[in-house]
Amino acid sequence: MDLPRSFTIRESGHRILNPFTPGKLATLGQALALPAGTRMLDLASGKGEMLCTWARDHGVSGIGVDVSTVFTTAARERAVELGVADRVTFVHGDASGHVADEPVDVASCIGATWIGDGLTGTLELLERSLRAGGLLLVGEPYWRIDPPDQATVEGCHMRRADELRSLPGLLARFGELGWDVVEMVLADQDSWDRYAAAQWLSVRRWLDGHPDDELAGEMRAELTTAPVRHALYQREYLGWGVFAIMRRPL
């Protein structure tokens, strides 16, 4: 059970595995004003940057679960580096079936709602670990501009335009599912660049060091097309944000 190597090659230079910069991640933590002692569960936790930095900056504790052995190892190393290994734990496992042993104050899935087969299923999964009155954090893409054609849809790594909503449509969807949106921090074009362009450098450095690897052809083809594809499609049309939601009272 692990991610394909292409993922870990592509994101080898990243600490945050989504279109957030460290500044935006810090802004989200500050906006939520989580009290010290807040207990978190982060599904698809990647390299653990959110849990580790929030443990350092806000005194939270928690568990991260991720299917990648490489990312989980990096998360554990980051916890030691920041001096928070006594407060955060990282587990290698299938986040799609993980439920906390005890209800947590905050449950999150930042940019990986495929673990619940989409937004609705992921919210249902997260809520199974959440205490009454707790907070869910969900990272999710949306159409920044409506895609004009199928080429744009596929250029944003989607199969159909209706796989995503507009930002107003996404916010409305949370309400339809019975949740109040109480905070959000959105990526912008610059933070998209930082996420995407850093991958190109990581891939090129890997190719220089592994010209005979069985993945070299695939990664070479990706690097050849990725910059133009990003500029044409993802940068212009695809939005992304983290949304904080709370269950509406019955």
How many beta carbons lie within 10 A of that of residue 30, not counting itself?
12
Spatial neighbors of 17 by CB under 8 A, at least 6 apart, are: 11, 46, 47, 71, 111
Q: Is the model's pTM score more than 0.75?
A: yes
pLDDT beyond 90 at 103: yes
Nearest alpha carbon to residue 144 among 17, 3, 13, 19: 19
Q: Which tokens go with 103?
A: 């209800």
Which domains, from first to last, does the chain contain?
5-145+160-188+239-247 (3.40.50.150)
Strand 61-66 to strand 39-43: parallel, antiparallel, or no bridges (unpaired)?
Answer: parallel
Percent of the chain predicted with pLDDT > 70: 100
The type of residue at 22 is: P
**Average pLDDT for the chain:** 97
Chain centre distance of CA 150: 25
Digit-coded pLDDT (tens) for 43-63: 999 999 999 999 999 999 999
Per DSSP, the three-state class of 184 is strand
pLDDT at 250: 79
How many beta carbons lie within 10 A of that of residue 38, not counting itself?
20
The H or E element spanning position 152 is helix 150-155
Strand 238-247 to strand 130-143: parallel, antiparallel, or no bridges (unpaired)?
Answer: antiparallel
Digit-coded pLDDT (tens) for 10-54: 999 999 999 999 999 999 999 999 999 999 999 999 999 999 999
Q: Which tokens go with 235?
A: 């940068």
Q: In the predicted model, what is the mean pLDDT of residues 222-244?
A: 97
Q: In the predicted model, what is the mean pLDDT of residues 181-190?
A: 97
CB-based burial, 215-239: b 16+ in 10 Å, e otherwise: eeeebeebbeebeebbeebbbbbbb
pLDDT at 1: 72
The type of residue at 86 is: D
Digit-coded pLDDT (tens) for 188-220: 999 999 999 999 999 999 999 999 999 999 999
Spatial neighbors of 195 by CB under 8 A, at least 6 apart, are: 14, 16, 18, 19, 20, 187
- The C-alpha atoms of residue 122 and residue 100 are separated, in whole angstroms, by 14
- The C-alpha atoms of residue 198 and residue 55 are separated, in whole angstroms, by 26
pLDDT at 2: 84
